């Protein structure tokens, strides 16, 4: 799709003034409200990790695999599949995985049988597809050339393009919560879309934020939109409040002990893959005043992270992307 004409009336007035008032929040002495203990590991190499229930989903280069961690001390590899292009990222929703696989586009995987994940269909975009998220019968994905792309999956085996919106900078990530989608690009900011609106995607709110996150997560991904997001960018943990979708604001920047690479969210807790500092836990019950809630020093830099109510799964290793030795360290939350 060609870039869309931007409707600047959606940009909230006074945003620059708000940004000027939001400073970085320095961590207080790291209170161990929550402690983590190592209970197992998934062998690598691994680049990306997601978790849902007793299943952990990992990818490396073109490979996508599923592990049963019902016994974290002895994870069992279930099924796997290969993509023709490098996997840039993926999200899990129910028994489907939405995989951004470079120039292959977005792939829709049926993971209802973890021992045999099956590709239902794919949709190719103009550029490099990075990651997909879903709302009802629509997938939104990030493409380096088109920006945010919407795909109609009413027929999962024959997905069709449903429009796109060009983001100003370098499109990075997208996540959905209820009917809302939140997309980020570098270096310009955060875009909020209402996916229930008919027609091609158009933002209902835009926040131009310097050093915006490269990767974001939303407080919850089902039910009513929460509008609270966390992301890693500019060497800090960044918290955004889009509870008013027409006027998203940057609630806080939080300086962690390390340099945040990725984040996971469970309720009001943000689990940060904090590179050399391992895992840092931050409580954002009050988004404008994040507080330290715990930490765990991994034996190698933390690169990516996923979390459930009881466990944390962190990709650790010396190298980023396809370089160096990496694996998933399994941590149990004990509070």
Q: What is the pLDDT of residue 31?
A: 59
Percent of the chain with pLDDT over 70: 88
Q: Distances in Å between the alpha carbon of 183 and those of 5, 38, 45, 297?
A: 17, 33, 28, 31
- What pLDDT digit, counting tens, does each position of 140-178 carry? 999 888 899 999 999 999 999 999 999 887 888 999 998
**Residues whose CB falls within 8 Å of the CB of residue 163, separated by 6 or more in sequence, listed in order:** 1, 4, 149, 150, 199, 200, 201
Q: What is the β-pairing status of strands 89-93 and 96-102? A: antiparallel
Q: What is the pLDDT of residue 2?
A: 38
The architecture CATH gives domain 54-304: 7 Propeller (2.130)
Read off the tokens for 247: 């006027």
Domain boundaries, the chain: 54-304
- What pLDDT digit, counting tens, does each position of 212-249 carry? 888 999 987 556 778 999 999 889 999 999 999 999 99
**Residues whose CB falls within 8 Å of the CB of residue 146, separated by 6 or more in sequence, listed in order:** 1, 3, 125, 126, 127, 164, 166, 171
- What pLDDT digit, counting tens, does each position of 115-126 carry? 999 999 999 998
Lowest mean pLDDT among 17-21, 87-91, 155-159: 17-21
Q: Distances in Å between the alpha carbon of 14 and those of 55, 192, 206?
A: 44, 17, 12
Q: Please check the confidence at residue 8 and state whether its pLDDT lies above 70.
A: no
Mean pLDDT in residue range 52-65: 97
Q: Please check the confidence at residue 58 and state whether its pLDDT lies above 90.
A: yes
Q: What is this structure's pTM?
A: 0.89
- What pLDDT digit, counting tens, does each position of 129-148 carry? 888 888 888 899 998 888 99
Q: Please check the confidence at residue 320 and state whether its pLDDT lies above 60.
A: no
């Amino acid at each position: 799709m060609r870039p869309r004409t931007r409707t600047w009336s959606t940009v909230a007035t006074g945003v620059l003034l708000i940004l000027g008032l939001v400073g970085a929040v320095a961590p207080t002495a790291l209170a161990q409200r929550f402690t983590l203990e190592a209970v197992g590991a998934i062998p690598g190499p691994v680049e990306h990790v997601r978790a849902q229930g007793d299943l952990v989903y990992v990818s490396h280069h073109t490979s996508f695999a599923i592990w049963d961690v019902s016994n974290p001390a002895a994870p069992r590899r279930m099924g796997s599949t290969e993509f023709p292009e490098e996997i840039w990222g993926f999200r899990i929703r129910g028994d489907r995985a939405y995989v951004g696989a470079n120039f292959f586009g977005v792939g829709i995987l049926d993971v209802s049988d973890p021992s045999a994940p099956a590709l239902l269909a794919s949709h190719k975009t103009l550029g490099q597809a990075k990651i997909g998220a879903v709302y009802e019968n629509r997938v939104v994905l990030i493409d380096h050339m088109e920006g945010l792309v919407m795909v109609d999956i009413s027929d999962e085996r024959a997905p069709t393009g449903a429009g796109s919106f060009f983001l100003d900078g370098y499109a990075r990530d997208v996540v959905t919560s209820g009917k809302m989608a939140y997309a980020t690009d570098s270096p310009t900011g955060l875009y909020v879309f209402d996916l229930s609106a008919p027609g091609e995607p158009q933002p209902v709110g835009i926040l131009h934020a310097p050093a915006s996150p490269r990767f974001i997560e939303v407080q919850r991904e089902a039910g009513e939109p929460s509008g609270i997001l966390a992301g890693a960018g500019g060497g800090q943990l960044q918290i955004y409040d889009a509870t008013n979708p027409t006027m998203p604001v940057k609630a806080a920047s939080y300086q962690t002990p390390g340099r945040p690479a990725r984040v996971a969210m469970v309720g009001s807790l943000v689990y940060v893959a904090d590179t050399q500092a391992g895992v840092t836990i931050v409580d954002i019950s009050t988004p404008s005043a994040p507080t330290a809630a715990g930490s765990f020093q991994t034996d190698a830099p933390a690169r990516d992270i996923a979390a459930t109510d009881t466990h944390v799964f962190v990709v650790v290793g010396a190298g980023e992307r396809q370089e160096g030795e990496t694996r998933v360290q399994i941590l149990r939350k004990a509070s």
